[in-house]
Amino acid sequence: MKKSSFVWLLIVPAIVMTFNFFFVKNQEKFFMNWTDPSYAYLFNGMNLANGTMEVGHVDHPGTTIQMAAAVFIKAIHVVSGKNPDLVTDVLSDPEKYLHALSFIFVLACSIVLFYLGSVIKRVSNNLALAVFMQSGILVSFISLTCMADIRTEPFLILGGFILVALLFSFIHEKEISTRRMYGYSIKFAAICGFLIVSKMTAIPLIILPIFLLRKWRSWILYSSGLVAFAALFMIPALSKMNFLISWIVRLFTHTGMYGSGEAKIVDVNAFKWDLWYMFRDDLPFTISCLLMLSTILFLTFAGKFKFRFWKENASLRLLMGIFLVTVVCILIVAKHFKYHYLIPADSLMMLGAYLSLRLTFPSTSKGFHLLRNKTIQIVGVVLIIGLCSFIDIDRYDFYENFKNPKSETASVMAKYKNVPRLYMTYEYYFAEVPPALYFGTCYAGTTRFEYYAKLKKLYPKSYFYSIVDNEFHQWGSTFELGDLVNKNKQTLVSFYVNDTTIVEQSLAVLRQLNRGNKVIDLKRVYVNTTTGERLYEMNRIGEMKTIPDSALVTICDVEKILDGSLISNDESLHFQGIEAKTNKEKHSGSASLELTNTIQFGMGFEIKVNVGDHFEISAWRKSAEGRGVLVVTGMNGKFYKSSSSVVEQGENGWEKIRMSVDIPSDYIGGSLKGYAWNEGEKSSIYFDDLTIVQY
């Protein structure tokens, strides 16, 4: 390759690298903006890198990025790991790994983009055309801005470049031998298998090789190869196929995102609006669709769709394939609309435009010679690159001085360095990393319990509140807010929710501690007007309400039996679970309950309650993994609470867990059920000395 050609083919990849450098620099931290799905893929990649064939996130299914992440995480740890344990090293500094992965993905896409240009230059001997095809990444703004994230889209973009290079090479073959046809069949199968496993939105792309491959044996080879390569790329998710199939069925049969919404295939009104937004807001995509449609109509009226012409003209067949793929993508995306779902169709835009112009202007026409003029080609390519780059910079709303406004919140939080954090609604992006790590564990499969133990050591002062289930968590364990306040005189409460109603509801949950006497004082200390983040000091100013002498105390020490069931020491209450009684372990007396994966529930009870009643329920637990919870549930099924909040450490691995229960004003039922639960853990968990304090 000539030096001048080499330099020209580097221009677009260099622009892509530069743009993404500033893009990532602007975001600063993945946990500030890209928690979902970056941290989910980080944890799944870490699973595989650690030798565990367990992935908890297979919706896309996205196993290609998980396997790639595993390889690079392992390599990064070998080269720069500070802790010999891979998991501990990643959890200690997740941003180092995410930024390294981001750079690797952008670099890989840029290299393949250069490869695309090289292939087109070699096949067509037209440098301007090669650069024109490369510039598609600048035309597709959404593709450009997705490239640096740890998600499936960089792999769709990278795979799309390779597919376009293959398609372009195929249609420029003068004569294809049977052997070369089979070679193309395998190559198409490999790249299409890679793409559809990366993300199911790429499924329409599997149509394209069918339009080009002309012998039935090549179709069979392509089809069987596609299945084989897809299975190969999906190896980490094969054990989750039932879940994946169920998710796909829900996605198809429900109107909402990710299988939510009404139980019907499409919401017609939303579908029409999504089509409108799609074409209105993505002008290059709209122009591409209209150009292909007008070319097909022109060729139809010109009588070009005769069988012989169709059979011998691979460019025409490919144009029809690309147009059909685009239409199918539009229909799929309009059902559940997000702009990045169109990336598979976007990757074919420039090839579709090239084919449209090639078929519209025959080699004998003046238009063809005009398009072949080198000066016009160079000017046109420079204008496309310059205009698209300017538009991309203008469309991306860079923060002032390339600084993420959440950094200001982070600097305020840094002043509370040794103060425990209570992150409200950890589903949102925060100015600190623990909520992102907690989010990642939710998609880590069964290995999350191993990670919880490590995270509790690395981030011992991080606590979380979930609005969805109205529970407080600390790395897999629930806890009581009162216990947190008792242990810490001051706690920094962090919000990142723009909905003030949610903020007030959450603050009301905290203020419940002031029932009867003033226990805490909530003082707002910071508001980020740009992001909506709010910080509060929660200061303990009083003592927690003590249990009155009139409180009713009921104890089950797993010693007394009456009429075939466990009973309390005062014989006032019966408890279920006698079949789990054992003398293998005990906290007091001579026995405890052994809850296993087979016998998961024990110490079940039912008590009468009234609105406004307050309960303190505790039990001693021995668990190797820190699993096992106390649960209370209402008779009407609308009241549920669980807790594994450890309030006291005993001897021989026993620890006391406790929960606080208030009967709300809208409670209907008259009674309350409670029990200890193994949580489906395979190893045995022992419970003893259950105490119910009612007042």
Size of the chain, expressed as the number of residues it contains: 695
**What is the arithmetic mean of pLDDT over 200-210?**
93
Beta strand 471-474 with 477-479: parallel, antiparallel or unpaired? antiparallel
pLDDT at residue 461, rounded to an integer: 94
pLDDT at residue 50, rounded to an integer: 92
- Joined together, the tokens standing for residue 510 give 């905290």
Same domain? 84 vs 38 = yes
Q: Quote the CA–CA distance of 145 and 392 in Å, as a whole number.
A: 9
Same domain? 561 vs 461 = no
Q: Quote the CA–CA distance of 44 and 90 in Å, as a whole number.
A: 12
Q: CB burial class (10 A; 0-12, 13-18, 19+) of residue 605?
A: buried
Query: pLDDT-based confidence at 537, cuts 50/70/90?
Result: very high
Dump strand ranges (E) for 294-372. none
Same domain? 469 vs 381 = no
Q: 12-26, 76-90, 547-561: which range is least confident on average? A: 547-561
Q: Quote the CA–CA distance of 353 and 367 in Å, as a whole number.
A: 15
The answer to whether position 10 is within a domain reads yes
Same domain? 340 vs 418 = no
Same domain? 294 vs 426 = no
Q: Which of 514, 540, 566 is the last residue of a domain?
A: 540
pLDDT at residue 481, rounded to an integer: 86
Query: pLDDT-based confidence at 550, cuts 50/70/90?
Result: low
The answer to whether position 585 is within a domain reads yes
Closest to 527 in 3D by CA, of 502, 501, 493:
493
**What is the arithmetic mean of pLDDT over 660-675?**
82
Q: Which helix (H) or strand (E) holds 643?
A: strand 640-643
pLDDT at residue 306, rounded to an integer: 66
DSSP structure string for 68-105? HHHHHHHHHHHHH-SSSSHHHHHHH-HHHHHHHHHHHH
pLDDT in tens, 334-373: 888 888 889 999 999 999 999 998 888 765 555 555 556 6
- Joined together, the tokens standing for residue 102 give 């981001």
Q: 249-258, 415-424, 654-663: which range is least confident on average? A: 249-258
- Joined together, the tokens standing for residue 428 give 């949102």
The answer to whether position 254 is within a domain reads no
Q: Which of 395, 423, 442 is the last residue of a domain?
A: 395
Could you tell me the CATH number of the domain that includes residue 628?
Answer: 2.60.120.260
Number of domains within the chain: 3
The answer to whether position 74 is within a domain reads yes
Same domain? 322 vs 194 = yes
Query: pLDDT-based confidence at 637, cuts 50/70/90?
Result: low
Residue 222: how many other CB atoms lie within 10 Å:
24
Contact 156, 198 (CB under 8 A): yes
Same domain? 355 vs 418 = no
Residue 579 in this model has a pLDDT that exceeds 60: yes
Residue 577 in this model has a pLDDT that exceeds 60: yes
pLDDT at residue 372, rounded to an integer: 63
Q: Quote the CA–CA distance of 593 and 184 in Å, as a whole number.
A: 64
Distances (CA, A) of 499 to 425, 432, 502, 531: 12, 20, 6, 11
Radius of gyration of the chain (CA): 31
Q: What is the DSSP letter of 400?
A: G
pTM: 0.85
Q: 44-48, 153-157, 396-400, 533-537: which range is least confident on average? A: 396-400
Q: CB burial class (10 A; 0-12, 13-18, 19+) of residue 505?
A: middle
Of residues 35 and 378, the one with the higher pLDDT is 35
pLDDT at residue 162, rounded to an integer: 97
Contact 500, 509 (CB under 8 A): no
pLDDT in tens, 619-630: 999 998 788 999
Query: pLDDT-based confidence at 234, cuts 50/70/90?
Result: very high
pLDDT at residue 677, rounded to an integer: 92
Residue 47 in this model has a pLDDT that exceeds 90: yes
Q: Quote the CA–CA distance of 646 and 491 in Å, as a whole number.
A: 18
Q: Which of 497, 514, 540 is the last residue of a domain?
A: 540
What is the SS3 assignment for 491?
Answer: strand
Same domain? 379 vs 451 = no
Average pLDDT of the chain is: 87
Residue 575 in this model has a pLDDT that exceeds 90: yes
Same domain? 523 vs 591 = no
The answer to whether position 521 is within a domain reads yes
pLDDT at residue 178, rounded to an integer: 83
pLDDT at residue 617, rounded to an integer: 92
The answer to whether position 264 is within a domain reads yes
The answer to whether position 546 is within a domain reads no
Give residue 515's domain range.
406-540
Contact 10, 114 (CB under 8 A): yes
Same domain? 458 vs 383 = no
Beta strand 592-595 with 581-582: parallel, antiparallel or unpaired? antiparallel
The answer to whether position 400 is within a domain reads no
Q: 420-429, 574-583, 641-650, 669-678: which range is least confident on average? A: 420-429
Q: Quote the CA–CA distance of 449 and 444 in Å, as a whole number.
A: 9
Same domain? 528 vs 568 = no
What single-letter amino acid sits at 285? F
Same domain? 526 vs 576 = no
Residue 169 in this model has a pLDDT that exceeds 90: yes
**What is the arithmetic mean of pLDDT over 88-98?**
96
pLDDT at residue 263, rounded to an integer: 81
pLDDT at residue 619, rounded to an integer: 94
Contact 296, 259 (CB under 8 A): no
pLDDT in tens, 301-345: 877 666 666 677 888 889 999 999 999 999 988 888 888 889 999
Q: Quote the CA–CA distance of 108 and 30 in Å, as a whole number.
A: 20
